[in-house]
Structure formats: structure tokens, C-alpha cells
Homo-oligomer: A and B are copies of this chain.
Amino acid sequence: MGIGAEERLILEDYLRERGQKMTRPRETVLEAFLKLERHVTAEELFAAAQRLDPSIGQATVFRTIKLLADAGLAREACPDEGARRYEHSYKHEHHDHLVCLGCGAIVEFKDPAIERAQDAIYVKYGYRPSNHRLELEGYCPVCAKKKVGV
């Protein structure tokens, strides 16, 4: 079974249910996406997909990454600025981010206490939970040392 076979099936099912089609370009984008393990922009994904198939168009990449997000295979990360970024979603459990403002390093973490406290908030206001995003910003040990006294 090739890499991404499972994800391919998910996408196929998702498309079929909506009368849409599985195509070669979509496969290519999916394959490129699965190989990239970090938060990627459409730009980066486009470059990676082109390496697999030089004839692929930029518009297709934009269209397909949105499909992947809808199908539950990708998930939007929330950048402070610049282009939208996506990360893996399927079999990549929800997590929060700790971002270094100095070097851009990203720690992914999950904290039961935070999750529990968030659930309590939903209950308190009577909201039905969907998803959430938590970004902690700060300076990693290395960068913090460089900026002592700032």
C-alpha cells in the first residue's frame, strides 16, 4: 500500500459524495501535501507539486488545498501575517502552538488542563463546540538570551 493510500480514499469518498471527480492533478497536490510535514503555504505547496508534475497550475493548487481542508485532510493554521498556512489534519490530533517570535520555531503541544478549561467555557456560554485555535507567542530559550533586557 503506497504512502497516502488511506488519505486518497478519504478524498475520493469526499469527492464522490458531492458529485466531484478524482483527477490526476488532485492526486498530485495531495501527494505533495502529505510529503510536507510542516505548516505550508499554497506557494510552497505549488512548488512541491510542480516537482512532481511541472504542468500543474497554481490555481489548481489553491483549489485543491481548500478541498483537502474541507475533506478533513488539511487544517488551516493561523498566521500573524502573510499567506495562509495549512497543516496535516488526518491522523494528526488537534494541538496548539507555541511560536518563537525570534526565530519562528514552532512547538506543537497539547495540554489536558487547557482542553478541559476550554470545554468548560463552551458549557458556560451554551455554545456547541466546533474547533479552536490557541497560539502562544514568546521567545525560545536561545532567542530570549539574545534579547536580554529588551
Contacts and interface: CB of A to CB of B under 8 A. Distances in A.
A138 B122 contact: yes
A140 interface: yes
Interface stretch (A3-11, A18-26, A43-51, A125-133): A125-133
Interface residues of A, number: 36
A15 interface: no
B121 A141 contact: no
Interface in A92-140: 98, 100-101, 107, 109, 111, 113-114, 117-118, 120-122, 125-140
A76 interface: yes
20 contacts: A76-B80, A78-B78, A78-B80, A98-B127, A107-B127, A109-B121, A111-B117, A113-B113, A114-B117, A114-B121, A117-B117, A121-B136, A126-B144, A127-B136, A128-B139, A129-B136, A129-B138, A130-B139, A132-B134, A133-B133
